[in-house]
Amino acid sequence: MTKADAVAVVLWIGVTMYAIFAGADFGAGLWSLLSGSGDRGRRPRELIDWAIGPVWEANHVWLIFALVVLWTGFSSTFEAVFSTLFIPLSLAALGIVLRGAGFAFHHNARRARGRALAERLFGLASVLTPFFLGTVVGSVAGGRVPVGNAAGDPVTSWLNPLSLVIGALFLSTGAYLSAVFLVSDARRAAAPDLERYFGTRAIVSAVVTGALATIGLFALRRDARFVFDGLTSDGLPLVILSALCGIAVLVLIHRRARRGARVLAAGAVASVVWGWGIAQRPYLLPQKLTIADGAAPSATLTSVLVVFGVAVVVVLPALGLLFALAQRSVIEETSGPPPPPPEEGMGARS
């Protein structure tokens, strides 16, 4: 493995982490949006707040991480992607701003109206970002991003069936992940009604995600032959692994198993991400720019790897500590108590 390949692997680790953690975050936003207004959706929303409150900032750092590695290690790819696909990427950034603002401020909004508005913003933003990031991935996979400053078509590069399907797939994947995560959170909060509530949603979104993935495969075959061929040869084991993980999660949730569902759901997402990476090899931009050709000078690649090594040694333990504390509820937001005990006739099947 060359140094450039190693940096590509680092980039992919960042992408995977973002896909899993931020995906779950965005999905939670989607569920918050779909939970209905007023009292009807109050309890699910409270659970969502409680579950993602303490750790949300750390999750989004993965995106910055991936962007920095991309522009440092593969500057020309960054230039090509961001200049050609500036419309979907601007909209994704818009989502990030609105979401951050909505989340930060809804904790402090005093009036019910402000609170509802902030929640609405948060939910809407959670749809924008994953969808448009998905279209970006679809455009790259479809080979619609040529090297250069805004060399590709600003509209058709991302407004095409493949990109749209991948966008929808990102959305449903996030919803699926977060529903699975929220089932565990509901159990921690001792709210069996919410456990059932999100269990149902996990199963529904899993089926939708599976269907979209299948459509996506057809779209790839038509539009992105290179990636399709990769997925059905070298990447095939990972695709199968992902499908198996997905099915296992459904079984676990159906049987209301206590553990394993979250790890398997994350595994299902991670294996698809890596399957895509393997299918794209050796290209950064399929059939336009290879990893070797697009890589930064050797000293830069070394620095990226050194910095990554330091990050693994320093950041991961700290991150682990935070997650462990959050999971054990040792540290909890004082302002966000766990949702109140279940009330009759609410939540269960609304």
Partner 1 sequence: MAFTLGFHIILASLGVALPALMLIANYRGLRRDDADALKLARRWSKAVAVTFAVGAVTGTVLSFEFGLLWPAFTGRFGQVFGVLFAIEGIFFFLEAIFIAIYIFGWERLSPWTHFWTGVPVVITGLGGAFSVVAVNSWMNQPQGYSPATGDVTSVEPLKVIFNPAVPYEVPHMILAAYLVTGFLVASIYAVGMLRGRRDRIHRLGLLIPLTVACIATPIQFAVGDTAARAIAKDQPVKFAAMECVQRTSTHVTEYLGGRCTSTGVKGGIGIPGFDSFLVGWSTSTQVVGLDSVPPDERPPANTMLHWAFDTMVGICTVLIGLALWLGIGWWRKRDFPQSRWFLRATAVSGVAAVIALECGWIVTEVGRQPWIVYNVMRTSDAVTNASGVWVTFGVVVALYAVLGAALITTLLAMSRRWRSADEEGVVVPYGPESGPPPDVPTGAVR
Binders in 276-315 for partner 1, by CB under 8 A = 296-300, 302-304, 307-308, 310-311, 314-315
Contacting range for partner 1; rule: CB under 8 A; set: 100-108, 192-200, 220-228, 273-281: 100-108
In the list 12, 18, 26, 78, the residue contacting partner 1 (rule: CB under 8 A) is 78
Residue 38 found at the interface with partner 1 (CB under 8 A): no
In the list 6, 9, 93, 243, the residue contacting partner 1 (rule: CB under 8 A) is 93
In the list 2, 211, 331, 340, the residue contacting partner 1 (rule: CB under 8 A) is 331
- Tell me the DSSP string of 100-131: HHHHHHHTT--SHHHHHHHHHHHHHHHHHHHH
Select 75 or 200, whichever has its Cβ closest to partner 1.
75
Q: 57, 53, 37: which is closest to 108 by C-alpha? A: 53
Tokens, residue 144: 């619609």
Size of the site for partner 1 (CB under 8 A): 77
Region of 243 on the Ramachandran plot (φ > 0 left; ψ -120 to 50 alpha; else beta) = alpha
Please list every residue from 6 through 35 that binds partner 1, using CB under 8 A.
Answer: none
Tokens, residue 344: 């009759």
Rounded to 5°, angle at Cα 57 from 271 and 47: 80
**CB under 8 A, 24+ apart: contacts of 335-340:** 335/107, 336/49, 336/50, 336/53, 336/107, 337/50, 338/50, 338/189, 338/190, 339/43, 339/46, 339/47, 339/50, 339/189, 339/191, 339/194, 340/46
In the list 5, 6, 42, 115, the residue contacting partner 1 (rule: CB under 8 A) is 115
Nearest approach, Cβ of residue 313 and partner 1 (Å): 10
Tokens, residue 345: 């006739």
Please list every residue from 57 through 76 that binds partner 1, using CB under 8 A.
Answer: 57-58, 60-61, 63-65, 67-69, 71-73, 75-76
Select 75 or 232, whichever has its Cβ closest to partner 1.
75
Nearest approach, Cβ of residue 218 and partner 1 (Å): 31
Nearest approach, Cβ of residue 263 and partner 1 (Å): 22
Residue 337 found at the interface with partner 1 (CB under 8 A): yes
Nearest approach, Cβ of residue 264 and partner 1 (Å): 26
Are the C-beta atoms of residues 259 and 37 closer than 8 Å to each other? no
Q: Which residues, other chains included, contact 337 with Cβ-Cβ below 8 Å and sequence gap of 6+?
A: 50
Residue 330 found at the interface with partner 1 (CB under 8 A): yes
Residue 88 found at the interface with partner 1 (CB under 8 A): no
Distance from the Cα of residue 164 to its chain's centroid: 16
Residue 322 found at the interface with partner 1 (CB under 8 A): yes
